[in-house]
Structure 1
Amino acid sequence: MFEYELIQNRVAELHREAEHDRLVREARAARTARQRTGAVARLARGVRRPVARPRAAQLGEC
Structure 2
Amino acid sequence: MFAYELHRTAHAELVREAAAQRLGREAARAAKAARRTGRHEPEGRVSTGKDRYTTVA
Residue 17 of structure 2 aligns with an amino acid whose one-letter code is R
Task: Give 5+ residue unaligned stretches, structure 2.
Answer: 53-57
TM score, norm. by length of structure 2: 0.65
Larger radius of gyration: 1
1:21 paired with 2:33, answer no
Give 1:13's aligned amino acid: L
The equivalent residue for 1:7 is: 8
Residues matched between the structures, number: 48
Where in structure 1 do 4 or more consecutive aligned residues deviate above 2 Å? 46-50
TM-score, L = length of structure 1:
0.61
> 1:9-53 deviations in whole A, cap 9, x for unaligned?
00000000000000000000000111124xx57x4xx34458xxx
Report the aligned-residue RMSD.
Answer: 2.6
